[in-house]
Structure 1
Amino acid sequence: MSNSTHFDIPLNVITKIISEAIPDELEVHDDFIKALSRATSLFILYSTTRANQVASENSRRSVYSQDVLTAISSLGFDHLLPNLINWHSMYMEEEESRKSKKKKSNNSDETDEKPDFQVE
């Protein structure tokens, strides 16, 4: 793999995920954390490359969520699809909620900024 496509997930991120996933009494060695970081990075690279290929096959330059799901499935990770679909749905709901709150906030700011005067 060339250096331009090489990246690793930060070790502190991997450590945090591991510490949230396993009991406190288990000890994890640094070599395991480094290996998991590299494996995670490779998984992301392979799946995004495949998702890009799916988009290209459909004459698009943009990658959509369906492209990612198709890529994950084609790489043999069908068992991940239900969780990915669920997480994507939750993300979209959170984004919609955030946008509507922002819109409401902007609307209330506009009404608050009206000049306070009376017409006689």
Structure 2
Amino acid sequence: MKSTAERVYKMSFASVYPHYIAKAEKKGKTKAEVDTIIFWLTGYDETALQKVLESKVNFEDFFNNAPELHANATKITGVICGYRIEDIEDPIIKQVRYLDKLIDELAKGRAMEKILRK
């Protein structure tokens, strides 16, 4: 049986991306806001993100090939999916949870300025 980390590593980013958008839109937020969060966290731009989606890159490659994880990403703390982010040791799983947390904050109506840790 595969561990959670192994499953997440191999999961296609493109398969989860529509769920991020749906979660945001369900709460009156937009795809553009989701993309802004992804761009901020990873350093990808619109063109690069589109290539990632088309090539169905897995989460491991999505984060390993990200132009630059934002310096303020370490300020993302709290609990997501039952795990305290700051206690997660695996770097890819931690980055996935960073993104999950930011999308969750967007869906909960938190101001973009605070989501982006400005």
Greater RCO, CA 8 A, separation 6+: 2
Shared fold per TM-score greater than 0.5: no
TM-score interval, normalised by the smaller of the two chains: under 0.3
Larger CA Rg, structure 1 vs 2? 1
* TM-score, scaled to structure 2: 0.25
